[in-house]
Amino acid sequence: MIRGERPLRLLGLLLVGLTAVLTTLGVPVTSAQGATVHVVRSDVPLPVNDPWAAAWDAVRPIEVTLSGQAVAPPRLLIPSVATVRARAMVDDERFAMLLEWADPTSDEDVLDVGRFADQAAMQFALGSGTSVCMGQQAGALNIWHWKADWAADLAARKDIEQRFPNAPQDEHVPPGLAEGAGLGPGGFLTGRAAGNPRSALTHPSAVEDLIAAGFGTLTPEPFDRQDVAGASSYRDGTWRVVMSRRLDNGDPNDAALEAGRSLVVAFAVWDGARGDRNGLKSVSAWLSLVIPAREMSLLDHLPFLVLILVVLALGAWLFWIGGRQPAIGLGGPPA
């Protein structure tokens, strides 16, 4: 073996091992390496209704940098929210994501002109090479969109009468005319008559389940397939929002949240106090996410242990063989 080659080999093995460990822990080793949202498997039911549960604090978060949405109008060149922290958990039945970000105000009231709600969303790519900007025909998106005003309505619904209690009432139509279709004692409610989810009297959740396959295609799932649960809480200048769903819901338009499956996700946050709405939002790039399989027993690990031992034995044998080879000179006679 050439003098000095043995330390170089040992250093190479050390660097390979260190790279493997850092990759396993989710620490990027190059600037081009994408970030990973770590999903922690839980043996107990997930705290989907308590964003401030101690179980969430035990999960290591990933700090995701956000940028302004500058692709399609209306554009936001400078992000209103700089970063969002993401934590994810899974058990045998559900997957849950916790998003956390700093916000000096809690904006839940949209009952006036110029008032906008705080919002957050995460999207799953349903195909390879999917555009992060609302998807495309070759790769659609499944989007979970939480709205602070919907969360407030679930707790205690408010309507325009609470904002303007002395406003004159519109002329009413006969009570028996087209009840349930937006016509009735409340007048002609065009949004409700058209089936607009934002005009509905009740929402199954503070999170809306949507699909998109390009600009202008954002579509809510039917009411009976709105199965994404939401819980949120604002405390000391910080929003925490939990969005969760059953792993297998049988909906081909939804993200397949199967154990052991790898997905890519992205996040968006709106600050209502800054006038954020629609395309005026702070967005992330794609991140990878792997839903871990069930905990493996010792027998499950046995093939991997045997493989590691074989690789180590082969490496040791090659190292020993290399040490027995004569040093390679420059071809001239020995001095």
DSSP one-letter string for 228-243 = -EEEEEEETTEEEEEE
Q: What is the pLDDT of residues 49-96, one digit of tens each?
A: 999 999 999 999 999 999 999 998 999 999 999 999 999 999 999 999
pTM reported for the whole predicted model: 0.75
Q: What is the pLDDT of residue 131?
A: 82
For residues 237-247, average pLDDT: 97
Q: Is the pLDDT of residue 26 over 50?
A: no
**C-beta neighbour count of 190 within 10 angstroms:** 10
For residues 141-153, average pLDDT: 96
For residues 153-180, average pLDDT: 69
Cis peptide before 73 (omega within 30 of 0): no
Domain ranges of the chain: 34-158+170-292, 299-323
For residues 219-227, average pLDDT: 92
For residues 107-115, average pLDDT: 90
CATH match for 34-158+170-292 among 2.30.40.10, 2.40.37.10, 2.60.40.1190, 2.30.30.280: 2.60.40.1190
- Which is more confidently placed, 183 or 125? 125
Amino acid at 112: D
Whether 247 and 94 have beta carbons less than 8 Å apart is answered as yes
Q: What is the pLDDT of residue 31?
A: 34
